Amino acid sequence: MGKVFMEQAFQYELDKGNKLFIPYIMAGDGGIDRFIDTLKQLEEAGATAIEVGIPFSDPVADGPTIQKAGKRALKEGVTLTQILDELVLRREEIGIPLVFMTYINPVYKFGIDRFFNRCEEAGVDGLIIPDLPAEHLDLISGPASKHGIAIIQLATLTSSRERISELAGLTEGFLYAVTINGTTGARNAVNEKIGDHLQILKEYSRVPVLAGFGISTPDHVKEMTENCDGVVVGSRIIDLLQANKHSEIKELIDAVKVNTIQNN
């Protein structure tokens, strides 16, 4: 487990000619009892890895869909401790990498060293903390390295080339390309200029570049992956899980596979 496992899983898919697909879920949405089963369901649908959101009261990077999912989980009484405990008990049932997406406050409150130690025990392979700027990475870099957990950086549309170079040098596992100016959430169309932005990120990054925020259809997935290595899809996945539309989740994931048989 850990960042090496994630790197190997990504390279395996890329070597087959596939792109990477990382669905996002809110841990505990629907209750902690559904957590592991949801992970298994997404793995069976073909996900390369899964981004696991940790419920938090002030999710500044998240749009309405993910905020509501977090509130549902918090209402169920789901905690970071419960999520980690579930993974310690059942992580072996999931054969793909897991990336936590959280904010720095829950990590700090839990205890930074304790958090990373527990993450290693739980088989967490990577971590995204959107409100921790690169300038303060030293707050967690030591424990993260000690426990083999990748720290993934986000590059935005407003990032300068100098900043992109810095973030690309720091990121592990993959570079997360934020494709909109704003919070997460499904959008009807892809920014026309995003291809150029993704190409710039690819120039600088030594690890795969994955696009996220606002991706909601198979066509969006295909369009994005013309210029990068894969996608992260969150709000749309949450909506489809809520509606039990599992076939539509598979259609989204299949859009990154080269050997998918098209019906039209």
Active site residues: 51, 62
Across 163-184, b (16+ Cβ under 10 Å) vs e yields ebbbbbeebbbbbbbbbbeebb
CB atoms within 10 A of CB 74: 16
Token digits for 185?
């959430």
User: Measuring CA to CA, how many Å separate 173 from each of 6, 187, 207?
Assistant: 6, 26, 6
Using DSSP, state whether 22 is helix, strand or coil.
strand
Across 237-263, b (16+ Cβ under 10 Å) vs e yields bbebbeeeeeebbbbbbbbbeeeeeee
